[in-house]
Amino acid sequence: MPMNRVPLLALSAVLSLGVLVACTGTSAPGAQAPQSATKTAETTSATPTGPPPTPEPSADGECPYLPSTDVAQANGQLVRKVRLSEGAPTPACFFYADATDVQLSVWVFQGEPTTAKAVVDRAAPIASSNPASSPEGWNGGSVSNDQGAVYAVAKGGAAVVVSSNQQQTIKAKRIAETVVANLGL
């Protein structure tokens, strides 16, 4: 082989390797990723996942979508006061049996369907609750324990979570049905 052909073959091999690496998207050992790819990965990984925090009562008021009389009738206790979380137009509503004890709370979530399902699953985990399917087209779970009952259902991007200090899930279910009807969800 003539001497000038060896450098041409070597150059050809290096160029072929470069084209092969470029086509497969892999880089040579020790090469660093471009800075823009690193920034994209950091931004993507910072996206929050899971349901939003459970609302807390922050101010006295009247629930805009559920009258206290409906709660008293369904839950079997007088409502002494009502507190609301932040967040209009559908704040979470907390109905008190006395000055300090919440007898029933209602949280209406509206957002992404996957988040609505996560809200329901946190309140009444699919693995450990009874299936809930009322009102028609809504799905979730109901659970009862020594502290009371929870009835949580979602449809599309909406979720309704009702927690009662009564152990009968039927009471929380009736409230959920009333809330869905009152809000036209």
| Digit-coded pLDDT (tens) for 113-170 | 999 999 999 999 988 999 999 999 999 999 999 999 999 999 999 999 999 999 999 9
CB 137 within 8 A of CB 123: no
pLDDT at position 87: 81
* pLDDT bucket at 48, cuts 50 / 70 / 90: low
Reading the block at residue 7, the tokens are 């450098």
**How far from each other are the two terminal CA atoms of the chain, in whole angstroms?**
82
pTM: 0.73
CATH number attached to the domain at 59-183? 3.40.1000.10
Comparing 3 with 44, the larger pLDDT belongs to 3
Dist CA 145 CA 110 (whole Å): 27
Specify the range with the lowest mean pLDDT, choosing from 21-30, 49-58, 108-117: 21-30
Instruction: Calculate the average pLDDT of the chain.
Output: 80
What is the rounded average pLDDT of the residues 28-39?
40
Instruction: Choose the weakest-confidence range: 38-47, 104-113, 135-144, 167-176.
Output: 38-47
When mean pLDDT is compared across 56-65, 72-81, 82-91, the lowest value belongs to: 82-91
Q: Where are the domains of the chain?
A: 5-45, 59-183
Residue 135, preceding peptide bond in cis (omega within 30° of 0) = yes
Contacts of 165 (CB under 8 A, 6+ apart): 75, 77, 97, 101, 102, 103, 104, 147, 148
Q: Give ∠ CA 90-92-97 in degrees, rounded to 5.
A: 135
163: which strand partners? 105, 150
User: Locate tokens 């629930």: which residue?
Assistant: 63
Report the share of the chain in percent with pLDDT over 70. 74
